[in-house]
């Protein structure tokens, strides 16, 4: 996983926030595209998906882990997730949907009816 450092402004102060880019699979179907992102530790409440123009931003915030002792060794990072994608202009952004199950976010990006293949009936 790749980490990115980002500047955010809060109360007129610039802060550095570190995110992890989640692993993603993207598939094309006849109906559109399906984006699947691995985001373990993120619940529906910690998920934010924004569409702005032809750009989709996915942010997943993890809940802090309660640890019963002092950590001695840690391989899992505790950073939040963030990834930005440029969308095909043929996507019908009004019909985009998302769900998260067992740490895997699935975003369905349907193609606009005008770009879907169709058969023309010959009379």
Q: Please list the pLDDT of the chain residue by residue as tens digits (123 residues).
A: 555 555 555 566 667 778 899 999 999 998 999 999 999 989 999 999 999 988 999 999 988 777 788 888 877 777 899 999 999 888 999 999 999 999 999 999 999 877 666 677 887
Residue 60 lies in a domain: yes
Residue 121 lies in a domain: no
Residue 118 lies in a domain: no
CB 60 within 8 A of CB 39: yes
Nearest to 104 by CA among 58, 57, 36: 36
Q: How far apart are CA 78 and CA 36, in angstroms?
A: 21
CATH number (domain holding residue 53) = 2.60.40.790
Range of the domain at 108: 2-8+15-64+73-113
Q: How far apart are CA 29 and CA 122, in angstroms?
A: 26
Q: How far apart are CA 118 and CA 72, in angstroms?
A: 60
């Amino acid at each position: 996983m790749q980490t990115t450092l980002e500047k955010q402004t809060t109360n007129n102060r610039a802060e550095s926030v570190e995110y992890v880019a989640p692993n993603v699979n993207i598939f094309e179907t006849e109906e559109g595209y399906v984006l699947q992102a691995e985001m373990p530790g993120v619940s529906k409440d910690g998920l934010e998906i924004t569409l702005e123009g032809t750009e989709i931003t996915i942010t997943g915030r993890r809940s802090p882990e309660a640890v019963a002792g002092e950590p001695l060794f840690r391989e899992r990072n505790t950073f939040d997730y963030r990834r930005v994608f440029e969308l095909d202009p043929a996507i019908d952004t009004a019909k985009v949907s998302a769900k998260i199950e067992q740490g895997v976010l699935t975003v369905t990006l349907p193609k606009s009816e005008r770009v879907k293949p169709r058969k023309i009936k010959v009379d």
